[in-house]
Amino acid sequence: MREIEVKQLDCDLMAVAGLALVGDYLKTIVPVLKRVNKALPVRAGVADSDIVRSCVGLLVQVESDFDATRNYRGDKFYKQSLGIELLASSP
């Protein structure tokens, strides 16, 4: 895994910059997420690990309600940075 260098910049970063750091951390716990999927198999639909990743992403964005996932439905960066294959809808 590559190292992430954190440093002070002269400019402001976008509000979603923390997603990349959290997504990088989520890569280290992939074995745990695979065990979650194995313990709670899904025939069709969203994998439980994707729901966990979505919830973590919402917490990083200071969203307290899972209904906020609809704000990220078309956000490619959100899904890619967290490693989400299929983003769950709130209903």
Every domain of the chain and the residues it spans: 17-82
- In this predicted structure, what is the pLDDT of residue 1? 62
Note the pLDDT tens digit of each residue in 5-63. 777 778 766 667 778 888 888 888 889 988 988 988 888 888 889 888 988 888 888 88
Q: What is the pTM of this model?
A: 0.74
Rounded Cα distance, 24 and 22, in Å: 5
CA-nearest of 86, 76, 4, 75 to 53 is 86
